[in-house]
């Protein structure tokens, strides 16, 4: 499984756990929201890096940083 799939799977699991507790804020819901936002940012920069724009180095550097953050999130998620 890729990092993207692992993280998306955990987001889905967190959302399901959050949805089970109607009218309550949960850590799972908060984590799902924040990690989803980080994943959206990473996908944005991955798409930009693939577009080969005139700012190739700029986009590639941001894509690399996002990938590193996703790797850290993935490792933290495995510890739970």
For residue 1, pLDDT over 80 is answered with no
The pLDDT of residue 53 is: 66
- pLDDT tens digit sequence for 5-53: 989 999 999 999 988 888 888 989 999 999 999 999 999 999 988 887 6
CA dist 51 and 40 (Å) reads: 17
- Reported pTM: 0.79
- The full 3-state SS of 40-55, as one line of letters, equals HHHHHHHHHHHCCCCC
User: In terms of DSSP H, where are the helices of the chain?
Assistant: 3-19, 27-50, 56-78
Please give the Cα distance from 39 to 11 (Å, whole number). 10
Query: With bands split at pLDDT 50, 70 and 90, how would you rate the model's confidence at 67?
Result: very high
Q: Residue 52 belongs to what domain range?
A: 3-20+27-78
Q: How many structural domains does the chain have?
A: 1
């Amino acid at each position: 499984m890729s990092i993207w799939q692992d993280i998306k799977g955990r987001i889905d699991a967190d959302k399901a756990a959050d949805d089970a507790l109607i009218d309550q804020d949960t850590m799972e819901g908060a984590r799902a929201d924040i990690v989803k936002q980080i994943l959206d940012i990473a996908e944005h920069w991955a798409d930009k890096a693939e577009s080969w724009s005139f700012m190739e180095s700029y986009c590639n550097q941001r894509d690399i940083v996002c990938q590193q953050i996703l790797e850290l999130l993935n490792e933290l998620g495995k510890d739970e």
